Amino acid sequence: MVMAAKFALQDWQVAGLRLSWLSPLLPRPAQIAAKMIGSIAGYFAKHWRGQLPLAQSFGLGAVVVVPFALWFVLAGATAAMHPNPTTRVFYVSLPFILFVLADVWSATGIWRCARKHNKFARPIATWAARTAQAAVAVNFLVLLAATVMFGAELRATFEPPRGSTSTYEVTLRGNTAVFHGRLNQAAVGELELLLADKSVTRLAIADSSGGDATPAVPLAKLIHARKLFVVALANCDPACVFLLAAGNVRAILPETRLQFGNGIDETLYRRAGLGGMPFDALHAKRAATPFAPTLRTLIANGFVTSIFVLANRRYVRAPEWCLKYPVACNRTAGQNAAAHVTRGGG
């Protein structure tokens, strides 16, 4: 990297000389711009080689490094407030890389300049040069520690906690993204990557328990915008219900347990762009009891639009299924499971 930067700076100097040679042939504004670019390129190259006075090296290094450092700090503060790990990495990675490159360039130039002062300068200047070299050494230690911390943060963002019983699995089967486990920020990030692909048109939630709906707002927006087909196959906690509500087609099995809890967080649904909910969850809030509607209620209110019939492995429009299997339709999912109802009938 050092050699590459060295050759790049040499090329800048050559480019500056060429611009100076061409300046008589250019219009007046272009001549001024060419001289400025040549002068700046020359300063950058001289600093890299340690040819500037020590004070100028410090000043030029600060002018270049401080803006990148501030950008990195502000990007980190902004990324910390974002629930999506992929977006956090996007916010932080570019300013961090540019900050590291600028810092290495600045420290290298100061070190080379200080080394020349150690050889040829007076005692006082030699003392200042040694102080500058000590500052560069401390700077590299701090930069190394920051790089290690940044790498650890990236690994922690994408890896599930070790020893945690709350795990998840995201797979792709044909045009269907399949989720199983607990919905958290890492799971939301992986699902967003899959569902952003136009070839993926369905989301199957095989099982979901103990998840958090709050970090899933961007994912629900994506599902709603793409009008995806969403099916919940087994246990479906409030986070799963949130994603199911965002789908254009909302399918379940007769035994799929939809856990609405003590009502729906309407604020969360509005943040995801989901309008008025097509079912009454306020009753559960008033009664302080879990909301456990029958399948007929969910179908009549438009929340469930399709039923997956496991016997012939196909989807049936929910109203048609309700007419064909009225007994199962009048039960809750828990009652269907407890009664050992034949999947897809009753």
> What are the residue ranges spanned by the domains of the chain?
2-158, 168-338
The one-letter amino acid code at 222 reads: L
pLDDT of residue 271: 64
3 state DSSP class of 163: coil
pLDDT of residue 30: 64
pLDDT of residue 228: 93
pLDDT of residue 7: 40
* Of the candidates 234, 122, 340, 84, the residue with the CA atom closest to the CA atom of residue 244: 234
pLDDT in tens, the chain (346 residues): 444 444 444 444 444 444 444 445 555 666 666 667 766 677 777 778 877 777 777 777 778 878 887 887 787 777 666 655 666 677 778 888 888 888 888 888 888 877 776 555 555 566 677 777 777 778 788 778 778 777 766 675 666 555 444 478 898 988 999 999 888 888 888 899 999 999 999 999 988 887 777 888 888 889 989 999 999 988 888 888 888 888 899 999 998 888 876 555 666 676 666 654 555 554 444 445 566 778 888 888 888 899 988 888 889 999 999 999 899 899 888 888 777 544 444 4
DSSP letter assigned to residue 26: S
Return the CATH architecture of domain 168-338.
Alpha-Beta Complex (3.90)
Question: Taking a C-beta distance cutoff of 8 angstroms, is the pair 249, 230 a contact?
Answer: yes
pLDDT of residue 18: 46
- Six token digits for residue 330: 């009048």
DSSP letter assigned to residue 214: G
pLDDT of residue 22: 46
pLDDT of residue 100: 85
The long-range contacts involving 140-143, CB below 8 angstroms and separated by at least 24 positions, are 140/107, 143/100, 143/103, 143/104, 143/107
User: pTM value?
Assistant: 0.51
| Residue carrying structure tokens 């509607």 | 293
3 state DSSP class of 51: coil
pLDDT of residue 31: 62
pLDDT of residue 340: 58
* Of the candidates 20, 122, 112, the residue with the CA atom closest to the CA atom of residue 58: 112
C-beta neighbour count of 167 within 10 angstroms: 12
Report in angstroms the alpha-carbon separations of 212 from 28, 91, 174, 187, 237. Answer: 62, 24, 27, 11, 9
* Cross-strand partners of 204: 178, 231
* Of the candidates 230, 248, 227, 228, the residue with the CA atom closest to the CA atom of residue 239: 230
- Residue 212: φ, ψ to 5°: -115, 125
Question: Taking a C-beta distance cutoff of 8 angstroms, is the pair 260, 316 a contact?
Answer: no
pLDDT of residue 106: 82
